[in-house]
């Protein structure tokens, strides 16, 4: 079973990329963030025609998450019941016995802003909810755009990024708290190339110069770590015309 997370930065613009990528990489589950569309605009027919079932939770202009699956989707939950939030950032479902959580963690804009405070509050509530989910679902996978680079090796220029948003100590501590629930960063279960990133700024030749961050993650419970045989970032679609600024990340579960 292959499970993928991909922030597509507008599904309206990126639907052709998603369909092309799925044709070349027929994964079982694809978690999408930043659909940026209301549910009535969601391209259900095109995705079903590609052989995928789909659950989604969107809003106008911002945020929005979706789960695409070749296998039946059950017990869909939208949002965190412990955190009253008009922003559509969480979608959970059970697929082939695995509890899949698709999350779009707030960006935070800049340290010290209201949006940064919202990010930390959101993460604290996410932690409390995931603690419940981990107890209910031993086979738990939490995929998404975390908007946090876990360590300095996940940052192209750690000195320049020190204490900035996406890298700051409180954000990293919030991610550590999630890992302390018994979750593992699947990417680091395996040997990986140096300077492996999942996001590159559109500006200043970010991708060409590999000035990136690794902020898209697949966290796995112990039962799924035991099944996990690979985790990889696919840089290919970042080279396509009009790409998302994020690359898809895929974990393989045996």
Summarize as ranges the residues that interact with DNA (CB under 7 A): 7, 9-10, 12-13, 34, 36, 60-62, 106-107, 109-110, 115, 145, 147, 165-166, 199, 201-204, 213, 215, 242, 245-246
Give me the least distance between CB of 182 and DNA, in Å please: 26
Residue 188: partners with Cβ closer than 8 Å, 6 or more residues away: none
Give me the least distance between CB of 240 and DNA, in Å please: 11
Is 145 an annotated catalytic residue? yes
Give me the least distance between CB of 59 and DNA, in Å please: 9
Identify the H or E element spanning 33.
strand 29-33
Give me the least distance between CB of 95 and DNA, in Å please: 24
Output 63 or 221, the one with its CB closest to DNA: 63
φ/ψ (deg, to 5) at 127? -55, -50
Give me the least distance between CB of 158 and DNA, in Å please: 15
Is 117 an annotated catalytic residue? no
Output 28 or 245, the one with its CB closest to DNA: 245
The 10 Å Cβ neighbour count of residue 178 is: 23
Strand partners, 54: 68
SS3 of residue 226 by DSSP? coil
Output 76 or 118, the one with its CB closest to DNA: 118
Using CA atoms, how far apart are residues 218 and 186, in angstroms rounded to an integer? 6
Output 70 or 89, the one with its CB closest to DNA: 89
Using CA atoms, how far apart are residues 99 and 94, in angstroms rounded to an integer? 4
What secondary structure, in 3-state letters, does 150-200 show?
CCHHHECCHHHHCCCCCCCHHHHHHHHHHHCCCEEEHHHHCCCCCCCCCEE
Tell me which of 145, 154, 216, 245 is the catalytic residue.
145
Q: Tokens for 138, please give them.
A: 């031993």
SS3 of residue 10 by DSSP? coil
**Catalytic residue positions, numbered:** 104, 145
């Amino acid at each position: 079973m292959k499970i993928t997370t991909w922030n597509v930065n507008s599904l309206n613009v990126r639907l052709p990329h998603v369909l092309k990528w799925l044709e070349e990489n027929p994964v079982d589950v694809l978690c999408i963030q930043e659909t940026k569309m209301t549910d009535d605009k969601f391209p259900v027919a095109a995705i079903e025609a590609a052989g995928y079932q789909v659950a989604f939770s969107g809003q106008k202009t911002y945020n929005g998450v979706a789960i695409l699956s070749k296998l039946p989707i059950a017990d869909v939950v939208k949002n965190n019941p412990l955190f009253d939030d008009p922003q559509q950032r969480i979608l959970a479902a059970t697929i082939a016995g695995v509890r899949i959580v698709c999350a779009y963690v707030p960006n935070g804009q800049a340290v010290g802003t209201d949006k940064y405070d919202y990010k930390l509050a959101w993460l604290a509530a996410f932690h409390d909810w995931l603690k419940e989910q981990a107890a209910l679902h031993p086979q738990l996978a939490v995929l998404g755009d975390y908007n946090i680079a876990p360590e300095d090796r996940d940052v192209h220029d750690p000195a320049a990024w020190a204490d900035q948003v996406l890298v700051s100590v409180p954000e990293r501590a919030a991610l550590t708290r999630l890992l302390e629930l018994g979750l593992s960063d699947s990417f680091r279960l395996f040997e990986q190339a140096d300077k492996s990133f999942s996001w590159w700024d559109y500006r200043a030749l970010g991708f060409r110069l590999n000035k990136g961050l690794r902020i898209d993650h697949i966290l796995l419970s112990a039962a799924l770590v035991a099944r996990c045989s690979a985790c990889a970032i696919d840089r290919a679609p970042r080279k396509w015309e009009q790409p998302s600024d994020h690359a898809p990340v895929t974990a393989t579960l045996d």
